[in-house]
Every structure is written in structure tokens, then in C-alpha cells.
Amino acid sequence: MHPGAYDPARTAVVTADGTRTLTYGQLEERSLRLADHLRAAGLRRGDHFALLSDNDPRALEVYWAALRSGLYLTAVNHHLSTDEAAYIVRDCGAKALIISGSLAELGAAVTELAGGPPIQLGLDDGTYEKALESASADPPAHQPRGTDMLYSSGTTGRPKGIKPALPEGDVREEPSTYTLIFQAMYGFGEDTVYLSPAPIYHAAPLRFCGVVTALGGTVVLMDAFDAEGALGAIERHRVTHSQWVPTMFVRMLKLPSEVRERHDLSSMKIAIHAAAPCPVEVKQRMLEWWGPVLYEYYSSTEGNGITFISPEEWLRKPGSVGKDGFLGELRICDEAGEPLPSGATGTVYFEREETPFRYHNDDIRTREAQHPEHPNWTTTGDIGHVDEDGYLFLTDRKAFMIISGGVNVYPQEAEDCLVLHPAVADVAVIGVPDAEMGEAVKAVVQPADGVATGPELERELVEFVRERIAHYKAPRSVDFADSLPRTPTGKLAKSSLRKAYWD
């Protein structure tokens, strides 16, 4: 299960506009050459290198060079500030940095701030191609399996390097854990056409593209998500599989009906979504539009566990993110670490035979992610409960919980109410300082185009929420903003939003 196992003329990766293509023969040869170049430069199993790239098909060459040479690859979020990107390159200990042409200026600044790395290759300045030309494409006798070491999005603080154990075995003989799980779950294979609308530096897009190219399918890369453009890409490439985040669903649902109905989406067999809990009404409307093709999973960049739910199961358990049994067992615990019964809300842990990851250069955060008595039970800070049938329901992130008058308020509930209000383009609910209550619930709303804001709309939105959930969970006030801080993968950067109020 590697690129060399398939017809060299077969398309491995293509951009959504069809202008750039990478065949399996090219992916195999070029990733072998890059691996050979890095090996000749002194990189050995367990070493690190970094990639600063947009959604360029050659990013998959870089990824496969890591997978077949026992290296850790850190794909860097190019939407970060220069200081943050340089911190990641420096913190991961990258011995090489590969930079796409569109990010050359950022790459130069990052290199200067990071004090290196010693090896720098530009995808479009000739240095990358020169390195490949002088390297060997002959497969070495042993191709030790490598992996990624990605950094958290930093939505709740400084990005953390998430370092899994380096896999054992030869990449040609030992499929990755992700390949085994997702092939079985979603039927990826040589007939798969997989649309990736999110940035490839993020965990799910990068790893799923790796799975698809391990199994002989075709990856369709969008430069960036665009609601109508995504629908057009599905139709144009006859996409069979895709992956989304709920924000993308919301934006597609808000397209005019004539635009949504214009595109033939009948080729879609599996539309995967994850990264954030999907509001029940949003998913119901997507199922009505696309049919029973929405498959959800819950996991994390840490990969400490996973749950799955099919569309049929979800219709029986609306709002659930599924059951475990694939990668660790669910455990719900209170703040003291005591296991809780079915239906009780607490911190979500996954139990594994061994601790599946650690935070790079940060033993304190690693320990904080572990259960106080069982280091092999790990959490990423999510809150939820498991029902009597074993289905997990997420409440929110622990870091986003609001404590108002001594009562815990999870802002996701109010956000789910407001997200489909016609006057709302985007929304975040946060806790702000309050002399009486400690924290007060506030909604920060990006209005839809052409919507007039003011006290009247504020009252309407507050009442809209109060009609649907308990009054104490509803925002007491609404502020309006031109835009909200979201990562390109759709996650709210609430730490920066909260900071403006708490400062």
C-alpha cells in the first residue's frame, strides 16, 4: 500500500481546476528522490523536517518522502503569524524546510527568525527540482515508516507539537493505522475520487490524502474552500468521497436554492465530517439535501481515540458523534478523574494499551492530557456523555466553558441555535467579565450581508435563543463584528476573541 503499487499513469492528485496533476508514477519517483536527498543530507530515522505550503499537489510528494524514510514531517499552518510559524519550525527541530513559491516571503522571514534550518528547498525557485534531479529514484532495500508531527491549531493557546510514537516496519509491508481504519470504514480504494476542500497542513486533510494515495484513489485538492466552488468540483470530477467541517455545511446551505440545485452531486457516496460538533439542524438539512451519505467521526490531531457514526445511526441518535471500538475505549470522568455512569457529563477520555502521544518539549501539558491515575487514558479537553447504548454526545470544550453565577454554561448550545438564523453569517458565544455573575454569556455575531445591526436585532437574537434552550444558557448581550477569528479549517479561535474582553 504505497504509490509504487499502482499504474504509473494513473492520476494520484489533481487540483480542483484541473491545471495541476500528479500521477502515481511521479508521486512514487519524486518522493523516493526527495527521501534519498534528505538521507544523503544526513537525516536519519526519527529526525524532523518541515513543510510550508499551500494546497500544492507536490505537498503529497513531501508527505510520502517522510512516510517512506522514517522521518517526522511537520506541515506548518501558513496562516499563522511569522513569529508563530517560526516558533513551530524551531520547536520541532526541523533539519530541513520545504517552501512553496506562493509562501516564499513568509518562508524567508520564518527561516531568519528560526535560525535555520540548514536545508531549505523552494518548490518553485529551482532548488527543490535540482535536489530531486541529483538524487536517486531507486527504492532502498528498507523504507522505514515515518509519520507526521503536527501542531495544534492554537485556538486555546500556543500551538503544541503532537508527537506520536514512530511506527515500526517497512512502508511497503505495513499499512498505517489510519489506512487500515478508514479503508474498512469508508471503502477507500482505486475507484475513490476524494475531494479535499481544507488546507493540507491540517491533520485530517493531510492524513486522508495519504490514505487515499496509499490505496490507489485520486485526490482532488481545492486551493481554498468556496461553497459554490466545492459543489462544482464534486460535479466536475465525479467525486465519490469528501471531507468537511460543519462551517462548510452552513455556508453551502446558505447558498441560494437555485445555486445549490444547479450541480449534480449524484456521484457522492461518502461525505465525511469531523473537526467540530455539527449542529443537529444543520446536519438534518444536509441529509435532506445530499441524502444518507453523511458519515461522522470524532477524533483529534492527537489521534488518541476515535468514534464513528453512520447516517442511519445518527437519525436514531441525533447529535451523537458515534461509538468507540476502533481505537481505544471511551471513559467519561469527573474533575477528580472518577468514572461516571451513562448519561453523566464529564471529561472525555480514551483508554489505550499505551499512551498514544506526547506533546513535544512539554512534559507538563502531556501530563495534563493524561488521567490522574491511568496515563494510558488521555483527553484533549472535550466534555460530553455516553448514553445507555454507548453513543457519545459532545457538550463543548472544557476550555470554552462559561461559569456564570456558579453555573456551568457550554456556549456550543447557543451557537448551534444562532448559526442558522438568517441574519447571522457567523457566531461565537463566550464568557465576558461580569461584576455580579463572574462571567456573563455574550454572543459575538458577524451579520449576514446587507443586514442592519443594532438593538432591535440584538433583542431578536437573544429571544431567538431563549425560545429554544434554557434562559440561563442564552446570551445576555450581543456584539456585532465584521468577521470572527476562525482557522482555515473552520475552528473558532476563541482565545483571541475572549482576550479582547478580558484585557
- 434-476 pLDDT, tens digit per residue, is 877 788 999 999 999 999 999 999 999 999 999 988 888 899 9
CATH code for the domain of 363: 2.30.38.10
Question: φ and ψ at 229, to 5 degrees?
Answer: -60, -35
Same domain, 151 and 191: yes
**What would you report as the CA-atom Rg of the chain, rounded to the nearest whole angstrom?**
23
Spell 181-190 as b/e; 16+ CB within 10 A means b: bbbebbebee
Residue 237 lies in a domain: no
Residue 15 has pLDDT above 60, yes or no: yes
* CB of 388 closer than 8 Å to CB of 416: no
The domain boundary, picked from 220, 249, 284, lies at: 220
Cell output for 193: 475520487
- The mean per-residue pLDDT over the stretch 287-296 comes to 97
Q: Do both 211 and 359 map to the same domain?
A: no
- Of 220, 254, 273, the one marking the end of a domain is 220
Q: Calculate mean pLDDT across residues 53-78.
A: 97
**Mean pLDDT throughout 89-93?**
95
**Tally of domains within the chain:** 3
d(CA 330, CA 133): 49
**Residue carrying C-alpha cell 461516571:** 340
Check whether 220 has a pLDDT greater than 60: yes
| Full domain range(s) for residue 116 | 3-220
Q: Tell whether the model's pLDDT for residue 154 goes beyond 60.
A: no
Whether the pLDDT of residue 420 is over 70: the answer is yes
pLDDT of 41 > 80? The answer is yes
The yes-or-no verdict on residue 277 having pLDDT over 80 is: no
Contact 290, 261 (CB under 8 A): no
**Which 3 state secondary structure label does DSSP give 45?**
coil
Domain end, chosen from 178, 194, 220, is at 220
C-alpha to C-alpha distance for 120 and 271, rounded to whole angstroms: 37
CATH of the domain at 201: 3.40.50.12780
Handedness of CA 59, 179, 264, 423 (dihedral sign): negative
- d(Cα 66, Cα 410) in Å, to the nearest integer? 40
Query: What angle do the packed helices 58-67 and 203-214 form, to 10 degrees?
Result: 80
Claim to verify: residue 457 and residue 392 sit in the same structural domain: no
The answer to whether residue 269 is domain-embedded is no
Do residues 101 and 215 both lie within one domain? yes
Cα dihedral 443, 447, 448, 454 sign: positive
Identify the CATH number of the domain in which residue 452 sits: 3.30.300.30
Q: Are residues 148 and 201 in the same domain?
A: yes
Residues 364 and 498 both lie in one domain: no
For residue 165, give the nearest of 365, 360, 329 by alpha carbon.
Answer: 360
Same domain, 355 and 487: no
Co-location of 7 and 145 in the same domain: yes
Does pLDDT of 156 surpass 60? no
pLDDT at 79: 84
Q: What is the mean pLDDT of residues 250-257?
A: 92
Same domain for 337 and 208:
no
Burial per residue of 270-296, b for 16 or more beta-carbon CB atoms within 10 angstroms, e otherwise: bbbbbbbbbbeebbebbbeebeebbbb
- Shared-domain flag, residues 329 and 195: no
**Same domain, residue pair 373 and 436:** no
CA distance 137 to 413: 54
Instruction: Using DSSP bridges, classify how beta strands 161-164 and 147-148 pair: parallel, antiparallel or unpaired.
Output: unpaired
Q: Do 1 and 177 meet the contact criterion of CB atoms below 8 Å apart?
A: no
